[in-house]
Amino acid sequence: MELDKRHKPKLLFFVTEDWYFASHRLPLAAAAVEDGYEVVLVTRVDRHLKEITRHGIRVIPTTISRSGLNPLKELGSLAELQRIYKRERPDIVHHVALKPVIYGSLVARSLGIKGVVNALGGFGFIYSSNRLKARLLRPGINHALKLAIGGQHTQTILQNSDDKDQIIGKGFAKPQHIHLVRGAGVNVTKYAKSPPPHSVEPLVILPSRLLRDKGVEEFAEAARLLKARGIKARFALIGKPDKENPNSISETEIESWVKGGILEYWGWRADMPEVLAQSALVCLPTYGEGLPKSLLEAAASARAIVTTDIPGCREIVRPGVNGWLVPPRDIPALTSALEEAIGNPDLCAKYGKEGRQMVKNDFSLDYVIAETLHIYHKLLEHKLMLPTARIEGTSDE
């Protein structure tokens, strides 16, 4: 579809955190700018404003929290979002993650916005946790999610076929409104294809936000067991706690693992290609994912992977080809897989080569961008055949 250069269609992203947008959606947004869109981002601004705006993206700061549950504050968040959408009059809104999908879709529908894209990369704390709070919230979230993604002018992007089957099976959305786009994509050229470094103590890393449902506790316990068996290896956490997530690991827990000689704590790192180049093996014993970018980056770096046999992870890791899959929350199985991997560096090097080729074939950034731009174009084509939506108010109110 050829975009009308005289009138740039406006594409508005709603992502609660600027760091997540910079990590997972910035290349897509930059490509949309190149494709002729005016691109606007609604987000909480932390440290990535300059990085985002230099790509020609206008940023609207918001105070909307991804974890807030106070009813009065949430009503305020909806009102704030409605004011923004009403003022901006976007042709297409693209919501990323559960809360933006629900809030953004409801606001877009109330204003008659005809182009809505919802991207769900997994279903977050509400669905992954067995805590009472999560179980109590789940029925209400189910209802809200069905309203959000079931709209006539709504297209939903999912990252793995298991999530797609679940959404269709629950009747949340029709199959023709769902698109399978496998992750945020990865630029393979950014990551070295060199084999793991030879070391007496190979480095095993867990690159992720430090949450319980990422399997951080299981990783720590497996590392403790392996060290007790005399296995020579280093185990490092690459990431930081997420204080807004109820499942976050505490600084106290991390400190106890470090003081006990079980784990190293490297914190959040911007230089992931260099970190991965130092590693021998990547481990993510997570409980629930869409399609983890950290594993795509690991495979792009030609690193073997140990992860869990769950939707999303098994899209990337094929046992006997580029890594090991173990049941979630199964510490003995995780420990055994890590021991086998650490003891077989040649096999890990072979798996790494296969994983890098898999990413090049199936998970490239170019493919993800092309698929998503195609969704935008189809929405615009459909919008041109509809009566112009009337959004009350003026842009300077």
The confidence score (pLDDT) of residue 193 equals 87
3-state secondary structure the chain: CCCCCCCCCEEEEEEEEHHHHHHHCHHHHHHHHHCCCEEEEEEECCCCHHHHHCCCCEEEECCCCCCCCCHHHHHHHHHHHHHHHHHHCCCEEEEECHHHHHHHHHHHHHCCCCCEEEEECCCHHHHHCCCHHHHHHHHHHHHHHHHHHCCCCEEEEECCHHHHHHHHHCCCCCHHHEEECCCCCECHHHCCCCCCCCCCCCEEEEECCCEHHHCHHHHHHHHHHHHHCCCCCEEEEECCCCCCCCCECCHHHHHHHHHCCCCEEEECCCCHHHHHHHCCEEEECCCCCCCCHHHHHHHHCCCCEEEECCCCHHHHCCECCCEEEECCCCHHHHHHHHHHHHCCHHHHHHHHHHHHHHHHHHCEHHHHHHHHHHHHHHHHHHHHCCCCCCCCCCCCC
**Residue 125 lies in domain:** 10-185+365-384
Say whether both 331 and 196 belong to one domain: yes
Q: Model's pTM, two decimal places?
A: 0.83
Segments in the chain below pLDDT 70: 1-6, 122-134, 137, 383-397
Say whether both 111 and 41 belong to one domain: yes
Residue 396 domain flag: no
Say whether both 15 and 128 belong to one domain: yes
The confidence score (pLDDT) of residue 45 equals 96
The confidence score (pLDDT) of residue 130 equals 65
Share of the chain above pLDDT 70, in %: 91
The confidence score (pLDDT) of residue 129 equals 59
Say whether both 134 and 25 belong to one domain: yes
The confidence score (pLDDT) of residue 28 equals 97
Residue 397 domain flag: no
